Amino acid sequence: MNLSFESRSSNEAFARCAVAAFLTQLDPTIGELNDIKTAVSEAVTNCVVHAYKDTIGKVYINVKIEENSLIIIRVRDTGCGIENIKKAMEPLFTTAPSDERAGLGFAVMESFTDRLKVSSKVGRGTTVTFQKRLSCRVGNG
């Protein structure tokens, strides 16, 4: 499933709900769905607040359903990129305290999914990929 939309904060709810709607075919638990919605919300907010700071750009979401109900979600932007990924991923580190960002985005994504990968190039953009295996109550297909 592919989705692209403008990096407006009003689209944050749309993005997480669209991903959740797509995944209902796997009959996930409420908790699993909530975890994924939370991670998507954090990733998209990063695009709005950081990648396209003071501007509007495109956010791209790709969701793949692999075997055994493994979900792979990729959130990509072509914004400013991250200079120091390690630093950016430290809990409580934020470059936007005035916007009351808690500095927990990546920590939440890490905690609410099974695996998180961040790749970024300054001036080119950032791609965040996370995986989660659902308990799977329906047959795979």
Partner 1 sequence: MRISEGEEEITAYLSGDIDHHSARDMRESIDAVVQMKKPSLLRLDFSGVKFMDSSGIGLIMGRYRLMALYGGIVRVVNVPDELERMMNLSGLNALDIIERRGVKLEAAK
Decide whether 4 or 9 has the Cβ nearer to partner 1.
9
Per-residue x/- track, 110-129, partner 1 (CB under 8 A): -xx-----------------
Of the ranges 35-43, 78-86, 113-121, 125-133, which one interacts with partner 1 (CB under 8 A)? 35-43
Counting Cβ atoms within 10 Å, is residue 140 exposed (0-12), middle (13-18) or buried (19+)? exposed
Q: Which stretch in 36-44, 59-67, 78-86, 132-140 sits in contact with partner 1 by CB under 8 A?
A: 36-44
Are 96 and 54 spatial neighbours (Cβ–Cβ below 8 Å)?
A: no
Of 138, 118, 141, 136, nearest to 46 by C-alpha is 118
Q: What is the DSSP letter of 38?
A: H
Pick the binder of partner 1 from 107, 131, 133, 136 (CB under 8 A). 107
